[in-house]
Chains A and B, each alone.
Chain A
Amino acid sequence: MATPLLALSGVSKSFGAVAALRDVRLELYSGEAHALVGENGAGKSTLVKILAGVHAPDQGTLTLDGRPVTLGNPADARAAGIAVIYQEPTLFPDLSVAENIFMGRQPLRSLRRIASAEMRARAIELCERLGVPLDPDRPARGLSIADQQIVEIAKALSLDARVLVMDEPTAALSGVEVERLFTVARSLRDSGTAVLFISHRFDEVFALCQRVTVMRDGRWVSTDPAADLSVDEVVRRMVGREVTSLFPKEPATVGEPRLEVRGLTRHGSFADVSFTVRGGEIVALAGLVGAGRSEVSRAIFGVDPYDAGQVCVDGKRLPRGDTAAAIEAGLALVPEDRRQQGLVMELSVERNATLPRRWALTRMGLLFGGAERRAAGTWAERLQVKAARLSDAVSTLSGGNQQKVVLAKWLATHPRVLIVDEPTRGIDVGTKSEVHRLLSRLAGDGVAVLMVSSELPEVLGMADRVLVMHEGRLAADIPRDRADEESVMLAATGQGGRS
């Protein structure tokens, strides 16, 4: 093959005593999509930040078109034609969509003034190319995560990048949106862009990429043509061991109704949602992004108010919009956006883990560090949270470990009803199956689990029943034995009838 467009060789990077990358290599070719897979903490995000010019490697070389380059800062990387879409959108909430797309590269007119009209027109054009007619003048604040991702992609598109790096861009997207993103990525690839695609979803990796690089523990493991690999093989290389089952839902005795939702309605978000979750049951709430699933779960937990309907736990009606009463009644919610809603990023692991229970841990109204540490330690151990010290800030942990802390926080309250919103979003395979095993075990203990998820394999593997939402209404209630990809997708896109 020809010279790689972009090549890294012998790249190492350490943060303090922690080696994030050791002797990593990577070659990206023009017109090719290259997948980078590995568990959380394998060093993928560090590699991305090196390509983006955020971090400088301690050792190793980077060549572009065969010539060594130094990417001293993100502007250098952009000038070299490298566009990066990060895992978590990095938008400016106060600025308009158009400004977010073009920040730092706004089209100019005379006297170096910003050509606002041109910028607006190009933003509209980009959004339409992506099939999402976003208003270019609205502020980014309040955009759904999927729409924020669209803005990120538009930003990368506007660069006419030679190298497009996508760090888990699909984690928050639904099927339609992923397909749209892939259409764009394919057309870029076919017009000569080198694409680096990082994902935990293997179906996507194999659908888009010609080549797969596997990393483990900061080291390069292998690079092979995708055609020569199977999912099992990739997973084996990633974890360095066989993973028996991704979705180990064990059968549990279904008990009394634990959570009953009747006629729940919030104007503009969802309408007339009724269902029951029994103890020992895992019920999945499926649907496209924007169907109102997260909104329903937030309303049940009392974060948002609702206009009509009622929520009962163990036959007792919950007051609406009262989170404290919901926790009191035994509800727990693991939110979708763990950085924003699930964790206090600056606080330590132990503080986060004991936050909802801090009253139970007090003595005479005072919180003692010892009690906190012991309680947090127990759960960190059970969930195998990988943190150097429990007193470290949560923001220093990897995504999978952050999710474990959120889970630890709520599991410690011994919930009777657990609502999890996208529990494995952006989490590596190993942690994923740990989370699944945990949910399964909780159901076995008689907890009613309501799981909001966009990943079909997860829904089908874990759920005893699948509730499908479409445009704010329940479109279907499918029992485990009749649930398959087709029946769920049909209902989610509004094609299927109520079964």
Chain B
Amino acid sequence: MTMLKTPPAARVGGGARLARRAFVVREMGILLALALLIGITAATNPRFLGAQSVKDLLLGSTILAILAVGQAIVIITRNVDLSVGSVLGLSAFATGSLFVAAPGLPIPLVILIGTVLGAACGAINGGLIAAARVPALVVTLGTLYVFRGVDYMWATSRQINAADMPPGFLGMGTATVLGVPVLTLFAVAVLLVVGYYLRSYRSGRELYAIGSDPAAARLLGIPVGRRVFAAFVASGALAGLAGVLYAARFGTLDANAGTGLELNVVAAVVVGGVAIFGGSGSVYGAALGAVLLTTIGAALPTLGVNPFWQRAAVGALILAAIGLDRALAARLGRSLRGRNTHV
């Protein structure tokens, strides 16, 4: 029988180009939206691009971006972590309490303690999901209230003020390097480390595999339970870190810190192009999504838009992002199917 073989060179690379283009289009789409938003706002009100305003914007994005990176890790495995807002609150209050109790504590140690506290919360989430085989949505919805409840009990309507914290720590919240806030540098470092890990390490790729098809991942011998557990620990640890940074930035803490943040985080991740059913997307996209959402929050009042419409705008953005993803997926699917017959 004769075989009709297309020369390899003609076909190899086409799919990659296609896939890469989809990726680039996705991330470029957010950047474009961001540029457009900033351009229009700056044209209306030039002070929007002032040094202080940009710094505020970056600082505002930082905490959301760190949470979005953690959330993206979890969503990539086809799970979700709704407890991040509560973990952040718990960690922030713990940070304040630590300084109240022992003002002389070195700052790196406090950051570490906050992160470990968050990781412990994440371990509770991951452990419950693995042990009880209950969907993450339900478990983390439960721990959202549990962690917040613990926070309330601990705080007992106390408030910790900036005066209770060492100036060095608060200074970290406002310090800049070449105009870029130190906290933002933290977020960028976290982003780069996690992004590189997910791309270049076996266990990182396995997170994508689990989200793409959990049953196939099990057949392949990937330790699904352990990887998902680790994803929740990572998300918790990043929420813990975000809590410490929150304390440094705002100084004033009560039991309500970070309430309702979880939905913003999920929104940022989805807007950033991470598929809600797992398996695809990047933490870079998620972080960009966080920056875009924060910028909208800052730009709309500058443009004189009624605060009511801000929420609607965020909603519209989520729908637009999902629509864009569907359209891209459909186009990619069509063109991939078309280039498929080789005999």
Contacts and interface: CB of A to CB of B under 8 A. Distances in A.
Q: Max chain A CB contacts within 10 Å: which of B3, B13, B215, B343?
A: B343
Residues of B in contact with A, size category: 35 or more
A139 B200 contact: no
Interface stretch (B14-22, B46-54, B80-88, B158-166): B14-22
A174 B13 CA distance: 26
A106 B202 contact: yes
A288 B1 CA distance: 12
A131 interface: yes
Interface of A: 52-54, 73-78, 86, 90-97, 99, 103-104, 106, 108, 112-114, 116, 124, 128, 131-139, 141-144, 146-147, 174-177, 179, 268-269, 288-290, 471, 493
Nearest to B222: A104
Given A53-B221, A268-B338, A114 B201 contact: yes
A444 to B, nearest CB: 36
A133 B222 CA distance: 28
Nearest to A105: B202
A124 B209 contact: no
B343 A94 contact: no
Contact of B18 (A97, A99, A138, A471): A138
Contact of B333 (A52, A95, A141): A141
A198 to B, nearest CB: 16
Given A104-B221, A176-B343, A135 B11 contact: yes
Q: Max chain B CB contacts within 10 Å: which of A52, A112, A136, A137?
A: A137
Question: For the complex, would chain B's binding face be called helix, strand, loop or mixed by DSSP majority?
Answer: helix
Contacts of A124: 8, 12
Contact of A142 (B1, B11, B222, B340): B340
Contacts of A268: 338
Interface of B: 1-3, 5-8, 11-16, 18-20, 200-202, 205-206, 208-209, 211-213, 215-222, 275, 279-280, 332-333, 336-338, 340-343
Contacts of B213: 90-93
A401 to B, nearest CB: 20
A90 B1 contact: no
Contacts of B14: 135, 138
Nearest to A175: B1
Nearest to A86: B219
Contacts of B280: 94
21 contacts: A90-B213, A90-B219, A92-B217, A93-B213, A97-B15, A99-B205, A104-B209, A104-B222, A106-B205, A112-B201, A131-B3, A131-B5, A132-B342, A133-B12, A135-B11, A137-B12, A139-B15, A141-B333, A142-B336, A176-B343, A493-B1
Contacts of A108: 202
Contacts of B275: 94
A110 to B, nearest CB: 11
A290 B343 CA distance: 7
A144 B336 CA distance: 10
Question: For the complex, would chain A's binding face be called helix, strand, loop or mixed by DSSP majority?
Answer: loop
Contacts of B222: 103-104
A479 B340 CA distance: 31
Given A95-B209, A493-B1, A138 B16 contact: yes
Given A78-B221, A104-B202, A137 B19 contact: yes
B343 A289 contact: yes
B339 to A, nearest CB: 8
Given A75-B221, A95-B209, A103-B205, A133 B11 contact: yes
A94 to B, nearest CB: 4
Given A147-B340, A175-B1, A73 B205 contact: no
Contacts of B2: 493
Nearest to A472: B341
B327 to A, nearest CB: 15
Given A93-B279, A94-B212, A133-B6, A114 B221 contact: no
Contacts of B5: 131, 133
A139 B1 contact: no
B203 to A, nearest CB: 10
Given A113-B200, A113-B201, A142-B340, A94 B12 contact: no
A141 B336 contact: yes
Contacts of B343: 146, 174, 176-177, 288-290
Given A147-B342, A290-B340, 12 more contacts: A76-B221, A94-B208, A94-B279, A99-B205, A104-B209, A104-B222, A108-B202, A112-B201, A133-B11, A139-B15, A142-B337, A290-B341
A288 B218 CA distance: 33
A136 B201 CA distance: 18
B219 A94 contact: no
A347 B134 CA distance: 20
A307 to B, nearest CB: 13
A114 B205 CA distance: 9
Contacts of B219: 52, 54, 74, 86, 90
A471 B341 CA distance: 9
Contact of B220 (A90, A116, A176, A288): A90
A60 to B, nearest CB: 22
Contacts of B209: 92, 95, 99, 103-104
A135 B13 contact: yes
A96 B336 CA distance: 12
A91 B216 contact: yes
Contacts of A95: 205, 208-209, 212, 279
A135 B220 CA distance: 22
Contacts of A76: 221
Nearest to B16: A137
Contacts of A54: 218-219
Nearest to A112: B201
A175 B343 CA distance: 10
Pairs A-B, 4 closest by C-beta atoms:
A138-B15, A137-B16, A74-B221, A75-B221
A141 B275 CA distance: 14
A137 B15 contact: yes
Q: Max chain B CB contacts within 10 Å: which of A104, A132, A136, A177?
A: A104
Contacts of B341: 144, 290, 471
Given A131-B5, A493-B1, A493-B2, A92 B221 contact: no
Nearest to B22: A139
B255 to A, nearest CB: 40
A124 B2 CA distance: 22
A5 to B, nearest CB: 21
Nearest to A133: B8
Contacts of B1: 175-176, 179, 493
A289 B341 CA distance: 8
B72 to A, nearest CB: 14
A78 B222 CA distance: 12
A268 B205 CA distance: 34
Contacts of B337: 142
A132 B6 CA distance: 9
Given A113-B201, A131-B5, A142-B336, A136 B12 contact: yes
Contacts of A143: 336, 340
